[in-house]
Structure 1
């Protein structure tokens, strides 16, 4: 089975024999699915009767994938299965994003007796709490690139730029001040959420995933970087 996870910025294609180790590629979601599938086939040509698992957070892109893939060989995750495995009080239930669901499922299946704070450093940053066998709730922040670009678009003179990790405590140019401000904004927000959640659940571990996770692990003390957390949850979601 080929797993297709459509994110806001990047789309993952992956295969696994055990749900723990994945062969995967990442491509821009803006690309047409046919081009993304061609990239995958260059890495690992799929069998003629291969099945596909499809999930994601971009409705238009998901619909294009559905039109491309054979309907008889396409599977999509069942929300009822998620709700059974990860009880929650999210309102409305269908609004909880696919990526958050997958990461919660992975935490539930890998650490069923352990509280977990799941930080997904993607286009948006999500901070979710799995504890007492259920999803307790979470926080959503704008992503780092989104925040930097918003300063550029919303002002006349501020430059567009990337963010070094870590950034200086103080900036002595406009660019350096932006980098310092954005870096410490997120560092403080992440640590503040962790502190708050661990006051409620002192045993909670911190799982860090998403595109910017590797850069930020050193800034999040005692965290585990789990790059395939979403894929592990997606794989488990479709198992009987």
Structure 2
């Protein structure tokens, strides 16, 4: 039996196939709530054929989404093409099994909890998970996997877009590490401010979290742009793009009926 794991983000949607033993394929698409179940089925079928797989191999599906409008089409995709009722993270009947030790546990996004579940499956001891997406989140995970609070800041792409939109004479630029910190023109100056500003935001907040936590934390970075900071950050111990899919697999296992 193959499980299709789907993570619908604001910008991209990730798909991963698990055979019951191993991950066998991964794909990524831009998030478009207007795409129908049939559109996704045709797209998936073509990609799976390249891996010598077929839609009929998929017998189960779990979905995490921060885009409510996309939920309808993915439910139809699973029902119509996989003959399976999908598990949706965030639905009242979906159990995550995570101790949440904050004042307002109902306000924690399910996607953040799933990522911390994935981190707990892979890494031991207390952890700090940094997820770089539309927002950059910093989530503290106890040694037992419990969610102990976190930080939310604007994502690097969001900040760059705001800079361009608010200042008429500043161009839209690609995010990359500049050759020097001191820019010699507008583009390099913006790249330095955005890139090194975010590296220092990450490193500064990690140090503050560790100081307040009062103990060591394994720091894991994940998310769409996390790899940009590899080799630039002084505080990140691991870069791991698998946390969400590993977390979704674990949530599925916690919810399947024997």
Structure 1 residue aligned with 2:98: 85
Structure 2 residue aligned with 1:25: 27
C-alpha displacement of 1:92: 5.2
C-alpha displacement of 1:213: 1.7
Structure 2 residue aligned with 1:129: 140
Q: For 1:120 and 1:37, how far apart are their aligned partners in 2?
A: 29
Q: For 1:220 and 1:26, how far apart are their aligned partners in 2?
A: 26
C-alpha displacement of 1:168: 2.5
C-alpha displacement of 1:104: 0.8
Residue segments in structure 1 that go unaligned for 5+ positions in a row: none
Structure 2 residue aligned with 1:64: 73
C-alpha displacement of 1:48: 6.8
Within the alignment, does 1:53 sit opposite 2:59 as a pair? no
C-alpha displacement of 1:235: 0.4
Within the alignment, does 1:218 sit opposite 2:231 as a pair? yes
Q: For 2:20 and 2:76, how far apart are their aligned partners in 1?
A: 29
Q: For 1:37 and 1:98, how far apart are their aligned partners in 2?
A: 26
Residue segments in structure 2 that go unaligned for 5+ positions in a row: 49-53
C-alpha displacement of 1:167: 5.5
CA gap of 1:39–1:88, structure 2 versus 1, over 3 A, is: farther
Task: Tell me the TM-score normalized by structure 1.
Answer: 0.88
C-alpha displacement of 1:49: 6.7
**What aligned pairs does 1:1-240 form with structure 2 within 5 A after superposition?**
1-18=3-20, 21-30=23-32, 32-33=35-36, 34-44=38-48, 45-47=54-56, 50-70=59-79, 73=84, 74-77=86-89, 81-82=95-96, 84-89=97-102, 91=104, 93=106, 95-111=107-123, 113-133=124-144, 134-166=146-178, 168-199=180-211, 200-221=213-234, 222-240=236-254
Give the RMSD, CA atoms, in angstroms: 2.3
C-alpha displacement of 1:207: 0.7
Task: Tell me the TM-score normalized by structure 2.
Answer: 0.82
CA gap of 1:235–1:90, structure 2 versus 1, over 3 A, is: farther
Count of residues in Structure 1 that have an aligned counterpart in Structure 2: 237
